[in-house]
């Protein structure tokens, strides 16, 4: 432990060796950059047995000497089910509810030993906020609640008991945390409107971003663009394709139309879906529209390799439905840094579209409009091939770095511990 630095206890489910979640990057990069801003992180996370998929590729990115405590946790659906069924009460507010028992005990021991100045917890694992709230009450330390996504929404969670639990947890955070942090302006405004009696100054926006050091290593390690010998136009979506929040059905229908009309073919175009998490559904959908030869379903790869892939393809694809207008995919900031053309299928009035336009990226079509997608894809491909498609503006790239986000976070922490 370093002398003279303030300390932050960070409660985060998403942390290496978990694989497959962009949420890892937010916590991991704060852990890397906060020490340069005068704050030393102490990480309280879950035992890897709770993770559905793991990889050691980012373990080496945890700075040497970082205190990491992995508390006992189970995945209710995997560890406590019988013939695929389990009591719903064991999964409230989420499937990792067991994490809170050992985490609170471990957190209090960390507080006693390392004497942190503040506590931070991060959603979308709701149990993290339960742990953060409990530790704050027991210790008297200021608590910052981080919302990467909205919690209780219309129709989400679909289980009424889970919805009520989410609502209680979010209200507790908004009312009792010293500050609530949101990753988009729309999400912050949603909560200001939902809880108008709470001081709006407690709601702070700190967006996601990209890590320049990681990108620089990925660029240095690239021998040649992976797709340099591929004559096809490769359009990459890197990450999970959620069936509702990133509904692929209109896109696949549009590709079917473009193939039947002869505008696209397997010789000229490839939609690459990397680590979609829903390959069987997407394969069935591709077969339904007779576009299996246009769609490539690829497995998860190490994060370093995923960044290299972004740097080498012809274009990058964003999918974001209108039911997520107050959210921005974390990968958007990595796309911005990759300096490749971006096609976004999203609601033009949502936060995702606004952020893209602010970065100078204007190829946007509605995700739920087949006709718009049919028009957008060939036009985008043509502009890229003719080198007329814009890439992100340099000032937008510079503004989106994780180092800058960490400085903004450290400033918030400094203000928080100065305010009684």
Determine the Cα–Cα distance for residues 95 and 74; give it in Å rounded to an integer.
8
* Listed residue (368, 364, 287) closest to 323, CA to CA: 368
The full set of domain ranges for the chain reads: 6-209+401-418, 212-399
Show the tokens assigned to 98: 């067991």
* Listed residue (198, 203, 154) closest to 182, CA to CA: 203
Fold of the 6-209+401-418 domain: Rossmann fold (3.40.50)
Determine the Cα–Cα distance for residues 381 and 386; give it in Å rounded to an integer.
9
With a pLDDT cut of 70, the percent of the chain lying above it is 95
C-alpha separations of 303 from 72, 278, 334, 401 in Å:
26, 19, 11, 17
| Strongest mean pLDDT among 88-97, 228-237, 288-297 | 288-297
Determine the Cα–Cα distance for residues 252 and 289; give it in Å rounded to an integer.
7
3-state secondary structure of 123: strand
Determine the Cα–Cα distance for residues 294 and 52; give it in Å rounded to an integer.
30
The pLDDT assigned to 77 comes to 76
3-state secondary structure of 203: strand
3-state secondary structure of 99: helix
* Number of residues that this document lists for the chain: 420
Asked whether 336 and 210 are in contact (CB, 8 A), the reply is yes
> Exposed, middle or buried by CB within 10 Å (0-12, 13-18, 19+), for 216?
exposed
Mean per-residue pLDDT, 326-344:
96
Instruction: Convert the pLDDT of each residue in 42-87 to its tens digit.
Output: 999 999 999 988 999 899 999 999 999 999 999 987 877 776 677 7
The pLDDT assigned to 320 comes to 97
Asked whether 341 and 391 are in contact (CB, 8 A), the reply is yes
Question: What ranges make up the beta strands (E) of 179-310?
Answer: 179-182, 203-205, 233-238, 269-274, 295-298
Asked whether 198 and 232 are in contact (CB, 8 A), the reply is no
The pLDDT assigned to 2 comes to 60
Helix (H) or strand (E) holding 354: helix 351-358
Do 6-209+401-418 and 212-399 share a fold?
yes
Asked whether 17 and 48 are in contact (CB, 8 A), the reply is yes
Instruction: Convert the pLDDT of each residue in 204-260 to its tens digit.
Output: 999 999 999 999 999 998 766 555 556 899 999 999 999 999 999 999 999 999 999
**CATH code of the domain occupying 212-399:** 3.40.50.2000
3-state secondary structure of 409: helix
């Amino acid at each position: 432990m370093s002398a003279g630095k303030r300390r932050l206890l960070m409660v985060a489910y998403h942390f290496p060796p978990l694989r497959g979640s962009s949420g890892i990057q937010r916590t991991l990069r704060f852990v890397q950059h906060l020490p340069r801003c005068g704050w030393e992180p102490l990480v309280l996370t879950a035992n890897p047995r709770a993770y559905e998929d793991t990889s050691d590729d980012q373990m080496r990115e945890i700075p040497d000497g970082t205190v990491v405590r992995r508390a006992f946790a189970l995945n209710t659906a995997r560890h406590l089910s019988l013939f695929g069924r389990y009591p719903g009460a064991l999964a409230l507010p989420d499937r990792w509810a067991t994490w809170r028992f050992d985490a609170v005990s471990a957190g209090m021991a960390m507080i006693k030993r390392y004497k942190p100045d503040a506590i931070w917890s991060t959603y979308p694992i709701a149990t993290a906020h339960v742990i953060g709230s409990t530790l704050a009450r027991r210790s008297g330390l200021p608590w910052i609640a981080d919302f990467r996504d909205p919690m209780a929404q219309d129709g989400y969670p679909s289980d009424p008991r889970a919805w009520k639990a989410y609502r209680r947890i979010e209200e507790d955070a908004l009312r009792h945390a010293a500050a609530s942090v949101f990753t988009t302006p729309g999400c912050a405004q949603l909560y200001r409107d939902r809880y108008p009696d709470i001081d709006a100054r407690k709601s702070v926006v700190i967006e996601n971003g990209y890590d320049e050091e990681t990108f620089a290593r990925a660029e240095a390690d690239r021998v040649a663009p992976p797709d340099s010998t591929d004559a096809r136009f490769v359009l990459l979506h890197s990450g999970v394709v959620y069936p509702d929040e990133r509904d692929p059905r209109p896109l696949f229908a549009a590709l079917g139309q473009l193939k039947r009309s002869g505008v696209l073919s397997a010789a000229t175009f490839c939609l690459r879906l990397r680590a979609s998490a829903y390959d069987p559904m997407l394969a069935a959908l591709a077969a339904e529209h007779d576009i299996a030869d246009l769609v490539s379903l690829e497995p998860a790869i190490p994060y370093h390799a995923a960044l290299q892939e972004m740097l080498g393809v012809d274009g990058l694809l964003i999918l974001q439905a209108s039911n997520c207008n107050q959210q921005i995919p974390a990968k958007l900031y990595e796309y911005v840094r990759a300096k490749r053309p971006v096609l976004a299928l999203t609601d033009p009035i949502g936060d995702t579209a606004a952020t893209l336009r602010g970065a100078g990226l204007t190829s946007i079509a509605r995700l739920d409009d087949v006709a718009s997608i049919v028009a957008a894809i060939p036009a985008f491909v043509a502009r890229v091939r003719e080198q007329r498609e814009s890439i992100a503006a340099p000032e937008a790239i510079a503004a989106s770095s994780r180092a800058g986000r960490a400085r903004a976070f450290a400033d918030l922490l400094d203000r928080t511990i100065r305010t009684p």
